Amino acid sequence: MAKCPYCDFNSHVAASIDQDRWQRAYLSEIDRIGAETRGRVLNTVFFGGGTPSLMQPELVAAIMDRIRATWPTANDLEVTLEANPTSVEAARFIGYRNAGVNRLSMGVQALNDDDLRRLGRLHSVAEARAAFDIARNTFDRVSFDLIYARQDQTYDAWRAELTEALSMAVDHLSLYQLTIEQGTAFGDRYARGKLRGLPDEDDAGDLYFLTQDLCEKAGMEAYEVSNHAQNGSESRHNMIYWRYGDYAGIGPGAHGRVTIDGQRYATDTGLSPANWLEQVEKTGSGEQSRSAISGADQAAEYLMMGLRLRDGISLARYESLAGKPLNTNNINRLADIEMVSHQGDSLRCTPNGRAVLNAVLRDLLPD
Amino acid sequence: MPIDQRPFPPHIAGIMTDLKNIRNFSIVAHIDHGKSTLADRLIQLTGTVAERDMKAQLLDNMDIERERGITIKANTVRIEYPAKDGQTYVLNLIDTPGHVDFGYEVSRSMQAVEGSLLVVDATQGVEAQTLANVYQAIEADHEIVPVLNKIDLPAADCERVAEQIEDVIGIDASDAVQISAKTGIGIPEVLEAIVTRLPAPGGDRDAPLKAMLVDSYYDAYLGVVVIIRVIDGVVRKGDKIKMIKTGGAYGIDRLGVFRPQMQDIAELGPGEIGFFTASIKLVRDTRVGDTITHEKKPCVTALPGFKPAQPVVFCGLFPVDSAEFEALRDAIEKLALNDASFSYEMETSAALGFGFRCGFLGLLHLEVIRDRLEREYDIDLITTAPSVVYHLHMKDGSMRELHNPADMPDLTYVDHIEEPRIKATILVPDEYLGDVLKLCQDRRGIQMDLTYAGSRAMVVYDLPLNEVVFDFYDRLKSVTKGYASFDYQMIGYREDNLVKMQVLVNDEPVDALSMMVHRDRAEARGRAMCEKLKELIPRHMFKIPIQAAIGGKVIARETLSAMRKDVTAKCYGGDVTRKKKLLEKQKAGKKKMRQFGKVEIPQQAFINALKMDD
Ligand SMILES: Nc1nc2c(ncn2[C@@H]2O[C@H](COP(=O)(O)OP(=O)(O)OP(=O)(O)O)[C@@H](O)[C@H]2O)c(=O)[nH]1
Ligand SMILES: C[S@+](CC[C@H](N)C(=O)[O-])C[C@H]1O[C@@H](n2cnc3c(N)ncnc32)[C@H](O)[C@@H]1O
Ligand SMILES: [Mg+2]
């Protein structure tokens, strides 16, 4: 396994994984968090962040069993697993389905072999298509990710690639503009001026608006900045993040937002898998930090996440979290230049506003 | 300066030095030709400073001097030299700055001494400040000893440079001393030349005290320290003295000499240079060139005095954070204590709030003061466009000085405007002459003279100062690859077609960017300014017109297009914390901007917008 050069996810590399030890650690973490959140209804599970498709289906099954034994689950529990589109991983799909996974999200990333190589991916387009076909026949719901605004990618090339992607897609598609993250191989290369051919702001804007346009015409409007779905096929798990609901993080490098006794906490666990494992075994908890989040911070996080959604946020909920309303002058100024629209309790970005969400947030977030 | 606690050698403590055993001289040269390094060697060879305390350019003790490797303040040192004739001489040397902005330091230093060592870099030859300094030395009736420096370098060409000195300057260079201030070659010969070729000072020990106030500076421990040159009479610790021009009367607390540490001394007699302190609170209470005498038995005639240094370049200094205004006031007052050539008055700007309009001797001086304010006092500053002093001749016959373009009155009251002009002397190798002439011509220059000295041309231009304060220096350096040298003198005021150009960002005038320009140059300036601002102002969520205008008439215009895309592609449960930190950081960055109507302009834009690169 190789680490991808653009990714800041916790995709650590291990030759062989001692699945037994891991299983014990995961189950003990579920027990620990379960005890703190007893009685709450669980709606979604997401096996993601890195390379969960390296997990044996048996481990997934054991985790799902323990989850079901710990929390009352919704009737339509959504269980997503992120997978790389390789034949090795595709061979496990049936096992995952039997373990309870009902949605597969596949990191295809590009439909062009040269670019896959440049992104440091080890699969080919042909392999990805084959894996995707297997996924489609195995799971009720499938989605795949593409990264665009890549080095030297032209407007026309992306139009062709996206058109092809839309013809493959079932009901959900994630389309991310390549982001150069600090601390990744791309970040280093970029800092050294060695990452050429990336689009400038105007070109990136053109690619973004082309994407919105093509997807809308194909009936896959964006419900979030980078996520497109037919109505009703949105990722319910990710919607919890954007609607700022509660989620528990289990495993190395996992973040959580959990309400315990009426107080909301931010939790995280150690990034290094080996250390996480050892910590869980030695101390009975993988948690690295837990801090109470103030009302103001919760409101800020809600605003940041919620405005990513087509449907925006509720101003009343913002106010109840923050303890005071969002500044009306700021809202009006942004409404005047048509970056946001404000109707009753709802505040959402216009399509142009969503494209410059960071600027909108810099204006809206209180000092 | 820390005080030297060593016991005084007997010849300093008591017996006065015989006049014939004193030599006073300044070391003058073009910038970087090696004055301070030569001073080092003289100090070292005479054992004035212990070997272990020596460091390069010892006298350049201000941080800014050491950092930039240049001299800004003139410095005096007393050294003793046992000469070949068996007698020990007291030498008072004054190391002077080479940069044109600090020419005033050179001219007043020269008034305090009888001779000059004219240092010329033997690899460079005669440069513009070499000339300027030599003319001043001649005017001050100095005996001049030419010194050819840097002969350790392979490019040194003593013969050619000696010839140049004779041709261009017209002084005898046949017995120029050839030295390397770096390696020490020729230093004993310099010391001998000082003793044998420079005159001893005159003066009457028994006459009433007459001393020249050469300089003064503020010391945090001692208060104001006054540097004097005694002409006649003797001054002692405890004496009651008065200053003729300012009328101030004081009792002398400490009397001493610089070696270069301060060392107390019992008395200073004719021909000697030293310092005193006298519970003087402000440098402003002293005036360079003033005559100091005894209160009881004063001298009859005062010294002619010097013209005070006039600030020629003005700009506004504003704190980035308006809460730091008081801190800025404090810092400016403290700096002004020590630098009488720098002037300031309070200013308010619609765009920038409260600040100060400050006057400087030149752009380097401006830069140095700004640097010191930012570093020593830790205040972030916005600097507005440098401007010169215009003379506004009003319809009612009166004349007003305009220091700040923002204060330009309604044109209906103004009859005509005059601007300061300079005489610029530029020395340049022949191959770059064409570019230099073009530059001067573009800057509205009038050629006054063009002569040759070997393969170098000497051009003299009459130029408007306002064309020089922008970036003339930088342009000159770049078109001549650094081979030109430049010196200037103010020559007076002349009427011209001058107008005030305003800059409007999103239809709001930004007063801090207003400037006076020549009407014929206004379009080009305006265009350059708008283009520059378009680069410097970050995109906003809406498009922003940037205009330059004269009166109500727009003469240049650019449009900054709206931001197209700025959104994080991937933001899930694990990204919230980091993303929030990032936004907070960006928000803090916004605080470093100035709000003009709906537009935010970074401070850096104010500084950089004025760096025109034609
Ligand atoms: N090779 C060589 N370098 C020298 C010699 N004398 C001075 N320099 C170098 O020339 C540079 C300028 O020397 P300074 O002594 O600071 O010159 P200055 O004339 O005092 O300069 P300003 O005070 O800024 O006008 C320094 O880098 C010195 O080390 C010399 O004899 N030989
Ligand atoms: C957690 S997200 C996937 C969520 C998934 N699309 C879903 O609907 O459940 C991970 C994806 O982010 C994308 N990604 C990771 N790093 C990226 C980067 N630096 N720039 C752009 N996209 C990136 C990749 O496409 C990767 O597959
Ligand atoms: Mg010097």
Q: What is the band of A335 on the pLDDT scale with cuts at 50, 70, 90? A: very high
| Chain B contact for A355 (CB, 8 A cutoff) | yes
Ligand 1 site, residue B255, Cβ cutoff 6 A: no
Under 8 Å between Cβ of A244 and A306: yes
- Residue whose C-alpha is closest to residue B389's, from B362, B364, B420: B420
Please give the biggest Cα pair distance in chain B: 92
Residue A117 resides in a domain: yes
Taking the centre of ligand 3 as the mean of its atom positions, its distance from the CA of residue B48, in whole angstroms, is: 19
Q: Are residues A231 and A316 in the same domain?
A: no
Higher pLDDT, A5 or A161: A161
Q: Write down the H helix ranges in B91-186.
A: 103-111, 128-139, 158-164
Nearest to B564 among A333, A355, A357 (CB): A355
Tell me the ligand closest to B37's alpha carbon.
1
What's the domain range around A316? Answer: 296-364
Q: Return the domain boundaries, chain B.
A: 19-197, 210-294, 313-384, 410-496, 499-609
Domains contained in chain A, number:
2
Query: DSSP assignment of A151-196, as one string?
Result: TT--HHHHHHHHHHHHHH-SSEEEEEE----TTSHHHHHHHTT---
Distance CA B28, CA B140 (A): 13
Residue A30 resides in a domain: yes
Fold of the domain spanning B210-294: Elongation Factor Tu (Ef-tu); domain 3 (2.40.30)
Q: State whether CATH 3.30.70.2570 applies to domain B499-609.
A: yes
pLDDT, one tens digit per residue, over A176-232 is 999 999 888 898 999 898 889 999 999 999 999 999 999 999 999 999 999 999 999
Q: Write down the H helix ranges in B537-570.
A: none
Q: How confident is the model at residue A87, as a pLDDT?
A: 87
Structure tokens at B135: 């003319």
Question: Which of A196, A222, A241 is the endpoint of a domain?
Answer: A241
- Residue whose C-alpha is closest to residue A172's, from A89, A96, A93, A105: A105
Residue B87, pLDDT above cutoff 50: yes
Within 8 A by CB and 6+ apart from B199, the residues are B114, B115, B143
Least confident of A103-107, A260-264, B565-569, B585-589: B585-589
Q: Are residues A108 and A235 in the same domain?
A: yes
Terminus-to-terminus CA distance in chain A, angstroms?
Answer: 44
Distance CA B89, CA B238 (A): 27
Check which CATH number belongs to the domain holding A149 and give it: 3.30.750.200
CATH of domain B19-197: 3.40.50.300
Neighbours of B336 (CB within 10 A): 19
Neighbours of B170 (CB within 10 A): 10
Q: What angle do CA B238, B239, B240 make, to 5 degrees?
A: 120
Q: Tell me whether the CATH fold assigned to B19-197 matches the one assigned to B313-384.
A: no
- Residue whose C-alpha is closest to residue A136's, from A114, A105, A159: A105
Give the mean pLDDT of A52-70.
90
Residue A337, pLDDT above cutoff 90: yes
How many cross-chain Cβ pairs, A to B, lie less than 8 Å apart?
98
Q: What is the identity of the amino acid at B374?
A: E
Question: Which of A217, A241, A265 is the endpoint of a domain?
Answer: A241
Q: Are residues A216 and A304 in the same domain?
A: no
Q: How confident is the model at residue B9, as a pLDDT?
A: 45
Identify which of A28-42, A79-93, B507-521 has the greatest average pLDDT.
A28-42
* Contact flag B541-A225 (C-beta cutoff 8 Å): no
DSSP summary character for residue B283? G
Identify which of A60-74, B339-353, B362-376 has the greatest average pLDDT.
A60-74
Chain A window 308-337: which residues touch B at a Cβ cutoff of 8 Å?
308, 333-334, 337
pLDDT, one tens digit per residue, over B116-125 is 999 999 999 9
Q: Which residues of A195-215 are buried (b: 16+ CB within 10 A; e: fewer)?
A: beebbeeebbbbbbebbbebb
Give the mean pLDDT of B209-219.
92
Q: Are residues A78 and A210 in the same domain?
A: yes
Q: What is the ipTM of this complex?
A: 0.94
Give the mean pLDDT of A226-244.
97
Under 8 Å between Cβ of B66 and B102: no
Neighbours of A35 (CB within 10 A): 9
CATH architecture label of B313-384 = 2-Layer Sandwich (3.30)
Structure tokens at B489: 């003198």
**A207: nearest CA partner in chain B:** B565
Residue A14 resides in a domain: no
Q: Are residues A65 and A198 in the same domain?
A: yes
- Residue whose C-alpha is closest to residue B333's, from B314, B316, B358: B358
Q: Burial of B315 by CB count in 10 Å (0-12 exposed, 13-18 middle, 19+ buried)? A: buried
Report the DSSP beta bridge partners of residue B262: B3, B258
* Contact flag B568-A179 (C-beta cutoff 8 Å): yes
Distance CA B355, CA B349 (A): 8
Q: Which residues of chain B have a CB within 8 Å of the CB of A256?
A: 573
Q: Are residues A76 and A201 in the same domain?
A: yes
* Contact flag B590-A247 (C-beta cutoff 8 Å): no
Q: How confident is the model at residue B611, as a pLDDT?
A: 58
Q: Is B331 helix (H, G, I), strand (E, B) or coil?
A: helix
Report the DSSP beta bridge partners of residue A292: A265
Distance CA A189, CA A195 (A): 6
Higher pLDDT, B604 or A36: A36
The CA radius of gyration of chain A, in Å to the nearest whole number, is 21
Under 8 Å between Cβ of B224 and B282: yes
Query: Which residue's entry shows tokens 């922008």?
Result: B470
Residue B36, pLDDT above cutoff 60: yes
Q: Which residues of chain A have a CB within 8 Å of the CB of B585?
A: none
Chain B window 528-587: which residues touch A at a Cβ cutoff of 8 Å?
539-542, 561, 563-574, 576-577, 579-580, 583-584, 586-587
Ligand 1 site, residue B41, Cβ cutoff 6 A: no
Q: Which atom of ligand 2 is nearest to the CA of A177?
A: 21
Q: How confident is the model at residue B607, as a pLDDT?
A: 65
Residue A103 resides in a domain: yes
Distance of CA A243 to the CA centre of its chain: 13
Give the mean pLDDT of B401-424.
91
Residue B268, pLDDT above cutoff 80: yes
Residue A252 resides in a domain: no
- Residue whose C-alpha is closest to residue A276's, from A265, A263, A266, A287: A287
The CA radius of gyration of chain B, in Å to the nearest whole number, is 27
Distance CA B274, CA A108 (A): 83
| Chain B contact for A210 (CB, 8 A cutoff) | no
| Residue of the CA atom closest to atom 24 of ligand 1 | B70
Question: Which of A241, A257, A275 is the endpoint of a domain?
Answer: A241
For helices A315-322 and A295-306, give the axis angle rounded to 10 degrees: 160
Distance CA B200, CA B367 (A): 39
Distance CA A365, CA A303 (A): 8
* Contact flag A257-B576 (C-beta cutoff 8 Å): yes
Q: What is the band of B8 on the pLDDT scale with cuts at 50, 70, 90? A: very low
Residue B12, pLDDT above cutoff 70: no
Residue A350 resides in a domain: yes
CATH class of B410-496: alpha beta
The average confidence (pLDDT) of chain A is 93
Q: How far is CA B524 from CA B360, B519, B528, B556, B614, in A?
A: 27, 10, 6, 8, 9
Residue A7 resides in a domain: no
Residue B152 dihedral angles phi and psi, to the nearest 5°: -70, -20
> For a pocket test of ligand 2, which of B570, B571, B578 has the largest count of ligand atoms closer than 8 A to its C-beta?
B570
- Residue whose C-alpha is closest to residue A194's, from A205, A203, A185: A185
Query: DSSP assignment of B406-453, as one string?
Result: GGPPPGGGEEEEEEEEEEEEEEEEGGGHHHHHHHHHHTT-EEEEEEEE
pLDDT, one tens digit per residue, over A259-316 is 999 999 999 999 888 899 999 999 999 999 999 999 999 999 999 999 999 999 999 9
Q: Quick check: pTM over 0.80?
A: no
